């Protein structure tokens, strides 16, 4: 970072409407901490924004003094791009307004919101938009990278439901982006990460959901993994779009519906959500019980907001996390065998492999309609390495990388940009596939100096 003079910092603090935090200030360490404890960076200063004009001022200050900039929304991104060393962190986490228009079924959302903030506001009207599965995730990063969850088979990716955005550009200008205004920028925002600007407001299409949904878990013994995964692969190819079923294999947490002697042992779990009439859903999910002889299940009709928070206890901040991810158009026997092999070698009790079945409406959009182009990804697999101590880094990261390499021959093209870690910059072009060159041209137009580069970076050269 360019060395700032004390007078420059003092002037910024006097003129910036929000709080400016420096190392040693109360709150500095709290704000710089993010979800992934493997990331420990120290910004030179933090600008805490409350309104879009604060963002404009922060961008202009950073440009004037040639500062490295990072943008914090929810701080949940695995790569840790929300925080930089020495530069300026522009903190949006205080911007948490959600405005819902139930008549037009639209929501206007600020970038500091978590999924829980949006779900609470929209479900008050029996509405929702497709988001992720961990309620503490920030909506900004999730959306800009694509976004998918329990509702995506029925209503598409998060970006498929983005109607417009208010953006602060690299020049510090406020612009509106939609299909009819700055349409090229809007194209790039929908999947292009934080490469083209800072979004200060998202407008989403909402859909009738719940407020109660049929959802829950079925847990099978690990020695039945071949049967469960094979049936899962075939069942998910033809299941209706109202139904979403994901597979997770991990060591069993102390869930109350599991026998005590199963706790800590490898299991295969089917997680499901049915977005239609629960009575119809009950008929459909009965087939899942025949995939094996279950240890137990916990399935029922519950508030959608509760199901959105069901996995939060397993995904709390403060642990060390390392992910590797592939897209698949189908799950072959070869993929299933590799999953079982490495699920039998979990290096820590918190590590897991999950396979999200998407497809249906996520595949109904043309690959070139927006920056997110992986429309042939019927399944997204995430190798979720998670542990507590740095002593375990080498073993856990090595396991994730080995599994990633061994499963790679069976993957389809592209990658989910939100699952790329900080050491995967070489996969950015691969993730975007045929859209990458178009994204480079867009970067040249909106950010030719690569001002926004704390992201899965699309370089303008």
* Mean pLDDT computed over every residue of the chain: 97
* pLDDT tens-digit series, residues 413-441: 899 999 999 999 999 999 999 999 999 99
Please state the rounded mean pLDDT for residues 119-148: 98
3, pLDDT greater than 80: no
Q: How is the chain split into domains, by residue range?
A: 6-91, 98-209+435-446, 212-419
Q: Is-contact 137 114, C-beta < 8 A? A: yes
pLDDT number for residue 1: 47
What is the sign, positive or negative, of the torsion defined by CA atoms of 222, 225, 231, 234?
positive
Residue 117, pLDDT score: 98
b/e burial code for range 375-392 (CB count within 10 A of at least 16 → b):
bbbbbbbbbbbbbeeeeb
Same CATH topology for 6-91 and 98-209+435-446: the answer is no
Query: Considering only CA atoms, which of 330, 239, 229 is closest in space to residue 281?
Result: 239
Instruction: Inform me whether the pLDDT recorded for 154 exceeds 50.
Output: yes
CATH class for the domain made up of 98-209+435-446: alpha beta
Candidate CATH numbers 3.40.50.970, 3.40.50.1400, 3.40.462.20, 3.20.20.80; the one for domain 212-419? 3.40.462.20
pLDDT at position 461: 86
| pLDDT at 2 (0 to 100) | 59
Provide the β-strand partners of residue 250.
267, 352
Instruction: State residue 411's pLDDT score.
Output: 96
Q: What whole-number percentage of the chain has pLDDT above 70?
A: 99
Look at residue 5 and tell me whether its pLDDT is greater than 90: no
Tell me what pLDDT residue 4 has. Answer: 83
Cα maximum dimension of the chain: 70
Give the separation between CA 164 and CA 207, rounded to whole angstroms: 17
Let me know if domain 6-91 sits in CATH 3.30.43.10. Answer: yes
pLDDT, one tens digit per residue, over 284-339 is 999 999 999 999 999 999 999 999 999 999 999 999 999 999 999 999 999 999 99
What are the tens digits of pLDDT across the range 393-410? Answer: 999 999 999 999 999 999
């Amino acid at each position: 970072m360019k060395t700032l003079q004390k007078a420059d910092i003092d002037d910024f603090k006097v003129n910036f409407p929000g709080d400016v935090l420096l190392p040693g200030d109360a709150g500095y360490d709290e704000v710089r901490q993010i979800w992934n404890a493997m990331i420990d960076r120290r910004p030179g200063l933090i600008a805490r924004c409350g309104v879009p004009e604060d963002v404009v001022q922060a961008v202009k200050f950073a440009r004037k003094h040639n500062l490295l900039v990072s943008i914090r929304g929810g701080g949940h991104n695995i790569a840790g791009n929300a925080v930089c060393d020495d530069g300026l962190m522009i903190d949006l986490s205080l911007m948490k307004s959600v405005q819902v228009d139930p008549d037009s079924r639209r929501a206007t959302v600020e970038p500091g919101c978590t999924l829980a903030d949006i779900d609470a506001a929209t479900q008050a009207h029996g509405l929702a938009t497709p988001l992720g599965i961990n309620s503490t995730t920030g909506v900004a990063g999730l959306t800009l990278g694509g976004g998918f969850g329990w509702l995506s088979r029925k209503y598409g990716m998060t970006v498929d439901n983005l109607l417009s955005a208010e953006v602060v550009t690299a020049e510090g200008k406020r612009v509106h982006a939609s299909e009819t205004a700055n349409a090229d920028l809007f194209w790039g925002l929908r999947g292009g990460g934080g490469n083209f600007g800072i979004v200060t407001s998202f407008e989403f299409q909402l859909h009738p959901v719940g407020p109660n949904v049929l959802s829950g878990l079925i847990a099978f013994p690990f020695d039945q993994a071949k049967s469960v995964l094979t049936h899962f692969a075939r069942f998910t190819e033809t299941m209706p779009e109202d139904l979403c079923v994901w597979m997770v294999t991990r060591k069993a947490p102390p869930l109350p519906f599991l026998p005590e002697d199963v706790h800590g042992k490898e299991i295969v779990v089917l997680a499901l959500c049915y977005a239609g009439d629960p009575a119809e859903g009950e008929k459909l999910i009965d087939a899942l019980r025949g995939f094996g002889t279950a240890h137990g299940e916990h399935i029922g009709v519950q508030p959608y907001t509760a199901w959105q928070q069901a996995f939060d206890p397993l995904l709390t901040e403060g642990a060390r996390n390392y992910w590797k991810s592939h897209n698949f158009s189908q799950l072959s026997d070869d993929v299933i065998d590799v999953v079982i092999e490495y699920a039998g070698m979990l290096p820590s009790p918190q590590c897991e492999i999950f396979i999200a079945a998407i497809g249906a409406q996520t595949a109904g959009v043309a690959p070139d309609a927006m920056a997110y182009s992986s429309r042939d990804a019927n399944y997204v697999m995430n190798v979720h390495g998670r542990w507590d101590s740095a002593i375990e880094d080498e073993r856990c990261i090595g396991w994730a990388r080995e599994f990633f390499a061994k499963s790679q021959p069976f993957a389809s093209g592209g990658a989910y940009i939100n699952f790329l870690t900080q050491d995967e910059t070489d996969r950015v072009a691969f993730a975007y596939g045929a859209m990458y060159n178009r994204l480079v041209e867009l970067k040249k137009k909106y950010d030719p100096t690569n001002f926004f580069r704390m992201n899965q970076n699309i370089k303008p050269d």
